[in-house]
Structure 1
């Protein structure tokens, strides 16, 4: 029945039988057969099929946490047995956001897979709130966040400085540093990708009210608008590509950081492979 649990969780995560089948190497009918068999053995309907796709029934919602726990303990058992045999195997699901994925993860993954070639990594990329939900639900074992969380165990990794990005011929382009006060009434593009609260707090503390022309969630769109001279923005360094044509990056006079953290439910309850990953990340970014 463990495999049927895996099929069920994969269907829920993928949102369709077809995508789940592609991920598991099964036909759509094979996925459907496993779900039907699981529902028959449990005596309940787990999934609701409609025009908009799939959704969990009330019964499915109730049993989901238990199925995740069973799969978690099954993975612990397999990894513990492998350790007894002197093997280091397993899989880790990691929740990450786009700028961390592009700037930090490649080196981390390269180092980790060199040391532990038999441990598989599966990446889930999304927004900060999504990552917190994934950690809470057990969808991922570990997630990277831009602020500490009271709900999970967190490990601070590094500080990501916020800087001012402007068009290359902006009237501030010759400045060595940008005073926060100088942004008052300035055409401003407000990021919405998590750091907006930090920026709004900084501006409020200084009594500065820029003219917010747009609020943008997509980093590429934000940068393109700055390139076109539609306004300036404050943006985390981690988000910036190595080179951005026709722009200038200038630090703030008041240094402001966002803190990048690694979060997980419990180190003590984590699988051996997840513990290896946590220690490897800490070692790499110390």
Structure 2
């Protein structure tokens, strides 16, 4: 059957080629998982029109009634330095990243170290949708309907020992696929692979999740596919993408941005309007897709609006010293 495209459809409403290619690739990957004996009930239902997660439940931890940012804005305005420092670089360059098969090594100070295939993690941890605010250190924000599962449940499953005080996360290192990791390119001043960390009690907080999708669909490459960290009370650079290792350690890990510029990026990275970045104020922000350059700026909320839930984690701490 031939379907004619009606005249007058704006280009912004036409599926971009990179998204179309990702969907076609996902169809092949989902078929391979099914052939390997993985239950289709555990996998996204892939079609050319969409890559939806079936039976997705709404989370009680979606603590905002704000309107989510559009899918287009979420997936075209990104920080993912492995693909370049420009906001559009990830969408333009990440389409060829191979996200299947994908494994995550969970190791260190735990009783049950193992290398998990992503489908194994999905099998043991039910997915749900959580609508969280995302606040970036450059003073812009979004509201994102993530799809993911509780990091706390993963931690409980691997049983940390008494020596585990911190959780260290590491991104894939593959300069062939990630051009921003190659010497000489913009953004290559960082020490790869990308490393992030949380205190164990932060990682155990019920708001911290491992995300595998957004808007009910499989996470696109430029947004951190196939699995990324989301910690809604911290700045966006704390949300490490394309994770290949989770390691439980006794000493505070040196994170990538902290190593690159400790004056500007602290280990905790909590959203705090009273602690300015050395080069700009953090007291206000601009909502991507909702605020124009001429709109009044929004006030930044302590802990990104999640103070009632997480402030107790930092009782007695000097939040200007431990920023």
Task: Pick the TM interval, shorter chain.
Answer: under 0.3
TM-score with structure 1 length normalisation? Answer: 0.24
TM-score with structure 2 length normalisation? Answer: 0.22
Greater share of residues in helix: 1
